[in-house]
Amino acid sequence: GAIQSAWDASAGWICVLLVGLAAGATAGIIDISARWMSDLKNGVCADRFWLDREHCCWSANDTVYKDYDCKAWTKWPWMFDFYNQSSAIFGILDFLFYVGWAVAMSTLAVLLVKVFAPYACGSGIPEIKCILSGFVIRGYLGKWTFIIKSVGLILSSASGLSLGKEGPMVHLACCIGNIFSYLFPKYGMNEAKKREILSASAAAGVSVAFGAPIGGVLFSLEEASYYFPLKTMWRSFFCALIAGIILRIVNPFGSDQTSLFHVDYMMKWTFIELVPFAGLGLFGGILGSMFIFSNIRWSRFRKNSKLLGGNPIYEVVIVTLITASISYFNPYLRKSASSMIQQLFDRCGPEDQMDDLCDYQNKTFTNNKVDDNYHTGVFGSRVHSAFWQLILALVFKFIMTIFTFGIKVPCGLFVPSIAMGAIAGRLMGMTMESLFRNIQEQDGHSSYFTCQIGKDCVMPGLYAMVGAAAVLGGVTRMTVSLVVIMFELTGSLEFIVPTMVATMFSKWIGDAICKSGIYEAHIELNGYPFLDNKGEYPYSTVASQVMRPGSARSDDSSVSNSNELYVITQDGMTLGELEVLLRETDFNGFPVVVSRNSMYLVGFASRRDVQMALHTARKTQPYVVTDSMAYFSSNVPDQVAGGPAPLRLRKIIDLAPMTITDQMPMETVIDMFRKLGLRQVLVTRSGKVLGIITKKDILQFMRNNERGIVNPNFKT
């Protein structure tokens, strides 16, 4: 009794606890493996092959500056006794190994996906959105998808393709949630309850991907989940936090920081800088929209083209070849995306002497680690070359990501978007820095700006951070969750206003150019039945104008309205008639009415239930024949001796179907569909069934309205 109820109450918590533990552990393993494999393109640790470059050099203890090689780290050409780094053969060998490893990894990834788990490809977030809205994709969250996607994700992200781990991480966490929910019958057996666990899992996925538990919860709320009760929110937070703690204990990056891209700017931003931040927002919105447009175009082309659609492996090989060959020659593309982002976000300090981006003239050194005098605003020559390298990196990254997002390996979109934004932002930041420097020199002690000569007024790293938020916002159209993720990523609460301004402008311009974010666009491309829960639909239409069958409009052929409503009467239909009805129509269910004349509603019978009941009856009840009467009412007459046996079907009908009247405004109807997660409603007038509106009809109706096509159903 008491124990049972206590178990019942705590089952959900235990389930999300397990999900959090597993998600954190999985993320840790993936991070460590991907890092090791990524360095494998470059070389191997001589003594301890299981160490990645950074740990290898740490253990060898002979590096001075970060990002530099050490003797313990054996580059591939060294194995063939080519030690002279400037020789041509060394270069060629190094290049070949780099490209070869990349192609090998991505090919293995696509093979695994193709052979074992076709659902393991892509980001998974569009599908998760649909699943959380009630759509069922069998096997999408199964254990095979989990295993293959984990391995494939390690391979694909190590191959240096322009993709991120974050989307797939959310998918993996949802797989974990799905698998664990079967341990608890309360959740495993009930799709609606299971979705609560999945919402929490999605939060855990973002939490481990970015180290952002609050951002994860808000992502799950804003982007992933369709219906998010408050109880779920608290559990999601718990789940996200547990996952985050586990990941921190695993500590895949060997750092003690709470946040992934920790920044410690000492300066404050000035209000006038909001102008360039807004500019970054506009840029992000435009870039994001261009990306969505191009990527959807390309994805549609891939879908329709025999050549591409049928040969995913060749596509992956070609994309990897191009990416690896070009990335090899650009220092920013060559290093892993996350270390590039960290570099772009960073302030320059004394330890960054060798960094091209930090080649300032007139810099003074103090022994203080946080050195405000490092930035002088006067660039050295290496900054100029870094500037051009960054522009090339941005262009290349943009083009390659369009072609990469959608290939048949696990691939996310967050990190490439953040990378593009960080590059653009850093470029903007460096421009602003030199601009401010010039203004200051002209006016002497300028009173427009709070900063003084010799002190850095402009933090290029902050611009990179803001740019990252802007582009990510332009691509995904996230809002609050994005701002929260950005500040959890960077650990700086003080820069929330710049981030917010950029995200806002990015969202505004993005929505003006194309309404839907990348995930919605992919959902539409794939034709999933997803009812967007964001927009507003102040239609003047009422239900009777949308329902099927429409009220006598046989002249209209574009909308597949047949003019008859197929119903089942509660008595008086024979088994044969029912079978004919099932055979001749393909509706998912039928209203059950008192009689065809009165059409008063009794209930709703789903196609599957009727089919099953008839099938079972045919098999198990010998006296049930084609002429048997089917009774959906509770009063079933006794069998006439020798005659066909009556069939009792009352138990299969849903006696509480959702009904509306024909005068209900469509706004309310859409609201009901969204909030109650309906699949269909029956339309009645004075108690008589007139027609039915399904989720598909709603989607069709909304699409017609959006495209400005005057709906043929409109009548005022």
Q: Which residues bind a copy of itself (CB under 8 A)?
A: 213-214, 217, 222, 229-231, 233-234, 237-238, 241, 245, 258-259, 479-480, 483-484, 488, 491, 493-494, 496-497, 500, 504, 507, 533-534, 536, 542-543, 594, 600-603, 655-661, 663-665, 668, 671-672, 675-676, 684, 686-688
The Cα–Cα gap between 256 and 360 comes to 29
Q: Which residues of 365-386 are buried (b: 16+ CB within 10 A; e: fewer)?
A: eeeeeebbebbbbebbeebeeb
The Cα–Cα gap between 641 and 113 comes to 62
Q: Would you say 360 or 604 has its CB closer to a copy of itself?
A: 604
Q: Would you say 496 or 709 has its CB closer to a copy of itself?
A: 496
- Kindly state the helix (H) or strand (E) to which residue 688 belongs, with its residue range: strand 688-694
Q: How far is the CB of 265 from a copy of itself (least distance, A)?
A: 13
Please state the φ and ψ torsions of residue 139, each to the nearest 5 degrees.
85, -5
Q: Would you say 324 or 681 has its CB closer to a copy of itself?
A: 681
Do residues 589 and 689 make contact, with C-beta atoms less than 8 angstroms apart?
no
Q: How far is the CB of 260 from a copy of itself (least distance, A)?
A: 12
Which burial class, exposed, middle or buried, applies to 364 when counting CB atoms under 10 A from its CB (0-12, 13-18, 19+)? exposed
Q: Would you say 192 or 612 has its CB closer to a copy of itself?
A: 192
Q: Would you say 15 or 241 has its CB closer to a copy of itself?
A: 241
As a dihedral over the C-alpha atoms of residue 235, residue 241, residue 246, residue 247, rounded to 10 degrees, the angle is 130
Which burial class, exposed, middle or buried, applies to 268 when counting CB atoms under 10 A from its CB (0-12, 13-18, 19+)? exposed
CA atoms in the 13 A half-sphere facing the CB of 440: 20
Q: How far is the CB of 7 from a copy of itself (least distance, A)?
A: 15
Q: How far is the CB of 195 from a copy of itself (least distance, A)?
A: 14
Which residues lie below 8 Å from residue 674, measured CB to CB, with a gap of 6+?
531, 533
- What is residue 123's DSSP assignment? -
Q: How far is the CB of 359 from a copy of itself (least distance, A)?
A: 32
- Kindly state the helix (H) or strand (E) to which residue 685 belongs, with its residue range: strand 680-685
Q: Would you say 391 or 655 has its CB closer to a copy of itself?
A: 655
Q: Would you say 464 or 669 has its CB closer to a copy of itself?
A: 669
The Cα–Cα gap between 13 and 143 comes to 22
Q: How far is the CB of 151 from a copy of itself (least distance, A)?
A: 31
The Cα–Cα gap between 323 and 311 comes to 19
Q: Would you say 134 or 160 has its CB closer to a copy of itself?
A: 134
Pick from 425, 416, 417: which is nearest to 459 by CA? 425
Q: How far is the CB of 173 from a copy of itself (least distance, A)?
A: 18
Q: Would you say 177 or 591 has its CB closer to a copy of itself?
A: 591
Q: Would you say 325 or 661 has its CB closer to a copy of itself?
A: 661
The Cα–Cα gap between 12 and 194 comes to 10
Q: How far is the CB of 533 from a copy of itself (least distance, A)?
A: 7
Which residues lie below 8 Å from residue 159, measured CB to CB, with a gap of 6+?
41, 101, 102, 103, 105, 106, 109, 320, 324
Pick from 427, 532, 525: which is nearest to 477 by CA? 532
Q: How far is the CB of 596 from a copy of itself (least distance, A)?
A: 14
Q: Would you say 157 or 506 has its CB closer to a copy of itself?
A: 506
Q: Would you say 430 or 573 has its CB closer to a copy of itself?
A: 573
Q: How far is the CB of 603 from a copy of itself (least distance, A)?
A: 8
367: left (phi over 0), alpha (psi -120 to 50) or beta: alpha
Do residues 498 and 490 make contact, with C-beta atoms less than 8 angstroms apart?
no
Length of the chain (residues)? 716
CB atoms < 10 A from the CB of 258, how many? 12
Q: How far is the CB of 520 from a copy of itself (least distance, A)?
A: 13
In angstroms, the Cα distances linking 693 to 556, 598, 680 are 18, 20, 6
Q: Would you say 382 or 455 has its CB closer to a copy of itself?
A: 455
The Cα–Cα gap between 348 and 608 comes to 66
Q: How far is the CB of 685 from a copy of itself (least distance, A)?
A: 8
Q: Would you say 39 or 532 has its CB closer to a copy of itself?
A: 532
Q: How far is the CB of 396 from a copy of itself (least distance, A)?
A: 33
Query: In the structure encoding, which two tokens stand for residue 222, read together?
Result: 């804003």
Q: How far is the CB of 418 from a copy of itself (least distance, A)?
A: 19
